[in-house]
Structure 1
Amino acid sequence: MDSVSVVDVDDCHEIIDLDSDDAEDGQGQYNFNYFGAEPGVVEVNIIDLNLPPEADFNNQQEHNESNPQLAVFNNTAAEETNQQHQNESIPQPQSHHNRRLRNYERLQILCWLLDNQVNGQLKHGTITEASKQFNITRQTISALWNKAKKQKQASQPFNVDNKYINCGKKRVECPIDRIIQLSMGQRTCIRDLSSMLGLGSTTVWRMIQRGLIKAHTNPLRPGLTEKNKIERMKWVLSLLIGDSAHTKSKFYPMYNFVVLDEKWFNQTRKSQKYYLGANEVPQYRSASSSTNIKKVMFTGVVARPRYDEEGTCVFDGKIGIFPFTYQEPAKRASKNRERGTMVTKIISSINREVTRNMLIHQIIPAIKAKWPAEEGLQPFTFNKTMQRLT
């Protein structure tokens, strides 16, 4: 009884002997033997890939009867190959081009050549016709046919697996220990890190994309002494509600707490980016010194926001931002203003008295004006940053 050699398209290393009389049905369960594996029974589909992708799968059984020497075996190879032909039809541009063929495409070309051969020889013009039909150069078709003839002469099953396994440029690997041994100042940017590792900047960038190197922003935290840590812990524990350790399970809601913080800002920047119109003239900026730019201090005041039962915000908690500035009339006339015009000036020296005046004359009146009226008048507490000033 004749036997049919079956080759796995994806991994052509497992050869099976399939009974040809049973294979004429095209489908079924068959006994098989792997080389070096346990015998078993699997579902086998004999497929002719020469049919167009839109052709019905059942019609391929009749086309297989003319050439039962080649079949495809895999647990899911039949379904995957049929799906690939439905989703990925081979393009047919006008010009030939050398492209890397997939295994199922090489198998399709070999099936077509076997159907058009007579006594092991191709007819005149068959390779040219195959080149036009599959949009592949004649050299590729000839190499595939010559390889198949050598396999047949050696009594080997047809193997269309390509040899592109470990081809191409090898990936540059860098041990993580080399990165860890560098100091933080030597790896602040990709250019510095690539220079210290002896690699290209693009290679380091690809390693970042693969997750081998990760970007990290390291904040500067306050240096607390043991005394500072104890004071912070005492302040946190003082916010617990209850009389004993067993009843102190909840924190004070802090609805009557007001948080204040100060921040210095430069009046302007040495270089500032703007977006202008097509015909707009950029503004001329000047200063007496580009290194000693004047600074102004702001105090931001916020409280805990309030929400009603429906989740609507009735008080956003934003009290305001208060600059440490003052206004006085201009003493002299200039091209920019007349004499006596009110000019805003910066308080350059911020001391205890200036901060107290800011708190009494600006911050507290703003809190009274914006505090929710339904809560009524109640004592409120400033955060610890400003408690020493009160």
Structure 2
Amino acid sequence: METRFFDLNQLPCDEDFDLNQLPCGEDIDTMIIQEIDEAQGDIPLFIHSHSTNSVVLDMGRDDEARYRYWDLSFEQVDESDDDNHQQEGGDDFDENYAQTQQHINSTHTHDSGGARRRRLVLTDDQRLKVYQAVLEKSHGGKLKKKMTTEVSNIFSVPIRTVQRIWKLGRSNGGDVKSKKKKRCGHPKLQVDISRLMEIPLRKRTTLLSLSEALGVSHTVLYRLIKEGLIRRHSSTLKPYLKDDQKRARLQFCLSMLDQTSMPNEPKFVGMYNVVHIDEKWFYLTKKNEKYYLHSTEADPLRTCQSKNYIGKVMFLVAMARPRYDSDGNETFSGKIGVFPLITKEPAIRRSRNREAGTLVTKPIPSVTREVIRNFLIEKVVPAIKATWPIEDMGSTIFIQQDNARTHIDPNDPEFRRVASQDGFDIRLMCQPANSPDLNILDLGFFSAIQSLQQKKRSDTVDELIGAVENSFMDFVAESLYMKFSVYGACFT
């Protein structure tokens, strides 16, 4: 075998440089390319021409193209050299190849597509099986042509791995165990996790701030999170409850117990006769929206007069628990109604969109107690009477509201007069203070119909009202029934 040297300074080492055109004849097993540089010194580059079919060029510089990789296909190389390597005494090549392999494995090697490629590591049992397979095919300790190739195909390992194991076994009397220790690399950094609880919460909001407080890198924290020693937690603000409010909440939950199930198997009542009401603002658009676009699609442009004054409308929503018969068919959807708090006023001036005097929909600027009373008497109560199941006409119906200042007193005489007409017994009740989870609307219904409303484009107040009303009607009763199951869990 011959080892030939080339001067890298005399080679066109650019992106179109084809190493396949180098003079690689049958007598060349290893090419060593050197860069003659007084500052850098001679940098050897080992290129194996007929087994790995790849080349690594260490340019010896700190630029992005320090390591270059090419696939080689030398047609003039005699493939028999691989199998006759042990017989022809390629010790020089083994030394060069070992240095090359060590240099490649010490860096992050990649294939031509940029994907990371790791060196195959065999266990001691696998190495022994490879050695025994080569030993069975050998004749008097010598290998014939294509033997290492056959073993390489059987175990799906590189040819050079098979040859290296064979050479190691021949020199060590059949001992082919790996020389690597069981635990290699840098020792694992030990971190005192108990110090984490001593760090203030304000310094534990990000991994960067936590790493600074602990004095470790953020990659160590990633490992600790993966091991389960550190966990992420999202903290949300909860309403503050005073002692008397806690007692009122407890009494409210106890009042929902079914007295017939006491004391052996206490259960909560079905709460089918409770109508939940509450108000919510719905907006024409949001300040920030997230879209998924095509790679060539232009970014959408969203504008408004002022992002601090986006058009909005307040809605009063009334909901009850859905009902089903014994066969699972829906008999009552529980949807009482959604009522926008708006007024119709004639336009004072003429514009390009309307003539003067045209009725314009405007949100009620100030929602007072009188406004809520009028909506309860003129909107909510008639809707309950129109949609309530006939078989439950004689039972008492409770309208549950929160403790907002604009809500009327449960004993309001004008409301009691209207609610007791037409054979109905409709009463007002207030939920415990600072307990929004005890209202089905705040518990999840508002966010559900809001997500449906935001999928519809609304440019005007009338379009927003239509979108909210359609979202209210499109919400399926099965999902509402599941939310009542979650509502019942809030009592325990």
Query: Do the two structures share a fold, i.e. TM-score over 0.5?
Result: yes
2:389 equivalent among 364, 372, 388:
372
Determine if contact 2:211/2:218 at 8 Å carries over to the other structure.
yes
Correspondence for 1:134: 152
Q: Secondary structure, in 3 states, of the residue corresponding to 2:130?
A: helix
TM-aligned CA deviation for residue 175 of structure 1: 3.8
Alignment of 1:286 with 2:304, yes or no, is yes
TM-aligned CA deviation for residue 144 of structure 1: 2.7
Q: Secondary structure, in 3 states, of the residue corresponding to 1:383?
A: strand
Correspondence for 2:142: 123
In structure 1, the gaps of 5 or more residues are 1-96
Correspondence for 1:114: 135
Distance 1:171 1:367 in 2: 68
Alignment of 1:199-348 (within 5 A): 199-201=216-218, 203-242=220-259, 249-273=266-290, 285-287=303-305, 289-293=306-310, 295-348=312-365
Bigger shift: residues 162-171 or 220-229: 162-171
Alignment of 1:170-189 (within 5 A): 174-189=191-206
Correspondence for 1:53: none
Distance 1:162 1:321 in 2: 76
Determine if contact 1:148/1:158 at 8 Å carries over to the other structure.
yes
- Cα deviation, 1:63-117, whole Å, max 9, x if unaligned, reads xxxxxxxxxxxxxxxxxxxxxxxxxxxxxxxxxx953223343122211333355
TM-aligned CA deviation for residue 359 of structure 1: 1.3
Aligned in 2, Cα 1:129/1:231: closer, same or farther, shift over 3 Å?
same
Q: Which amino acid aligns with 1:259?
A: H
Correspondence for 1:50: none
TM-aligned CA deviation for residue 336 of structure 1: 2.5
Correspondence for 2:463: none
In structure 2, the gaps of 5 or more residues are 1-117, 413-492
TM-aligned CA deviation for residue 349 of structure 1: 1.9
| Identity among equivalent pairs (%) | 36
Alignment of 1:2-21 (within 5 A): none
Correspondence for 1:4: none
Aligned in 2, Cα 1:143/1:250: closer, same or farther, shift over 3 Å?
closer
TM-aligned CA deviation for residue 224 of structure 1: 0.8
Alignment of 1:101 with 2:122, yes or no, is yes
Correspondence for 1:10: none
Distance 2:163 2:169 in 1: 10
Q: Secondary structure, in 3 states, of the residue corresponding to 2:355?
A: coil
TM-aligned CA deviation for residue 228 of structure 1: 0.8
Distance 2:237 2:178 in 1: 58
TM-aligned CA deviation for residue 204 of structure 1: 3.7
Q: Secondary structure, in 3 states, of the residue corresponding to 2:396?
A: coil
Q: What is the alpha-carbon root mean square deviation over aligned residues?
A: 3.8
Determine if contact 1:296/1:348 at 8 Å carries over to the other structure.
no
Q: Which amino acid aligns with 2:367?
A: I
Aligned in 2, Cα 1:101/1:341: closer, same or farther, shift over 3 Å?
same
TM-aligned CA deviation for residue 309 of structure 1: 0.8
Q: Secondary structure, in 3 states, of the residue corresponding to 2:250?
A: helix
Q: Secondary structure, in 3 states, of the residue corresponding to 1:286?
A: coil
TM-aligned CA deviation for residue 223 of structure 1: 0.7
Q: How many residues are treated as equivalent by the alignment?
A: 286
Determine if contact 2:278/2:318 at 8 Å carries over to the other structure.
yes
- Cα deviation, 1:305-361, whole Å, max 9, x if unaligned, reads 211111222212122332322221211111222222222212232221111112111
- Cα deviation, 1:112-159, whole Å, max 9, x if unaligned, reads 33335566xx32657x7425641656654454344434543xxxx745
Determine if contact 2:165/2:176 at 8 Å carries over to the other structure.
no
Aligned in 2, Cα 1:239/1:98: closer, same or farther, shift over 3 Å?
closer
Determine if contact 1:276/1:282 at 8 Å carries over to the other structure.
no
